[in-house]
Amino acid sequence: MTTAPPDGVPVSYRRVAAAQARRDLALVWARRGQALQPLLFAVMVASLFPLALGAEPGKLAPLAAGITWVCVLLSGLLGLEALYRSDAVDGSLEQMLLSPAPLALLVAVRIAVHWVTSAAPVVLAAPLLAEMLQLEARLLGVLMASLLLGTPLLSLIGAVVAALTVGAGRSGILLPLLAMPLYVPVLVFGAGSVAAAAQGLEHVGALMLLAGALAIGLVLGPLAAAAALRISHS
């Protein structure tokens, strides 16, 4: 699809999206050390739990899925502020707002790149976290499925909240405070599916609900984030 901006030159949505993705990926690559920080954070938090709870055999296993989920969720919160921060500082955000391409498309690409570069590595490392926490091997599949469905949803919700706080300067702790109540259902169904599987109960339902929520989130998330950006950055 294309739209014609006021000066008459049509804009191809696909090329705009590709350009945005290239730019965002290049920026991440330029600071590739930073991109691994959420992963490191998740591993470190996961290693705190055995230290705090004691590592007797069988003690961690029932908690492993929940702890892994919380670690992944917290590490996602850490990187959320970076989603628009540098753009807001150097003025690229204004260009995005003024662009003839729909803001929601640009934001969607931004969220996708953010998920691939910050959440996906943590999800890939989840087997490692699960092993550290002595999760039963048979539950790993459910855990991975729930994380793969849940973390994009977390990124989408987080992008809306981050868009609202973009005008707040260095908001610090504000962003996690706003995002966490909205993360509750994702956490409940994500960690809940593994808990159900552990008890031998039906767990596909929770995964289906997550998948359905993700489908809705993929449509509404970028639109809501774009609307929020226009509100807080007007």
Residue 208 interacts with another protein (CB under 8 A): yes or no:
no
Q: Determine which residue in the list 73, 93, 196, 214 makes contact with another protein, applying CB under 8 A.
A: 196
Residue 201 interacts with another protein (CB under 8 A): yes or no:
yes
DSSP 200: T
What minimum distance in Å lies between the beta carbon of 139 and another protein? 15
Judge contact between 189 and 209, C-beta under 8 A: yes
Write the DSSP string, 38-92: HHHHHHHHHHHHHHHH---TTTSGGGHHHHHHHHHHHHHHHHHGGGTHHHHHHTH
Determine the Cα–Cα distance for residues 143 and 154; give it in Å rounded to an integer. 16
Residue 68 interacts with another protein (CB under 8 A): yes or no:
no
Write each residue from 115 to 154 as x if it is in contact with another protein (CB under 8 A), else as -, in one continuous string. ----------------------------------------
Nearer to another protein, 92 or 232 (CB): 232
Tell which residue, 87, 210, 47, has the closest CA to residue 143: 210
What minimum distance in Å lies between the beta carbon of 223 and another protein? 12
Residue 156 interacts with another protein (CB under 8 A): yes or no:
no
Q: Determine which residue in the list 70, 128, 223, 227 makes contact with another protein, applying CB under 8 A.
A: 227
Helices (H), the chain: 13-30, 32-35, 37-53, 64-80, 85-90, 92-98, 103-114, 120-124, 126-132, 140-164, 174-198, 204-232
Write each residue from 73 to 92 as x if it is in contact with another protein (CB under 8 A), else as -, in one continuous string. --------------------
Judge contact between 42 and 74, C-beta under 8 A: yes
Q: Residues in the site for another protein, rule: CB under 8 A? A: 160-161, 164-165, 167-169, 171, 174, 177-178, 180-182, 184-185, 188-189, 192, 195-196, 199, 201, 206, 224, 227-228, 231-234
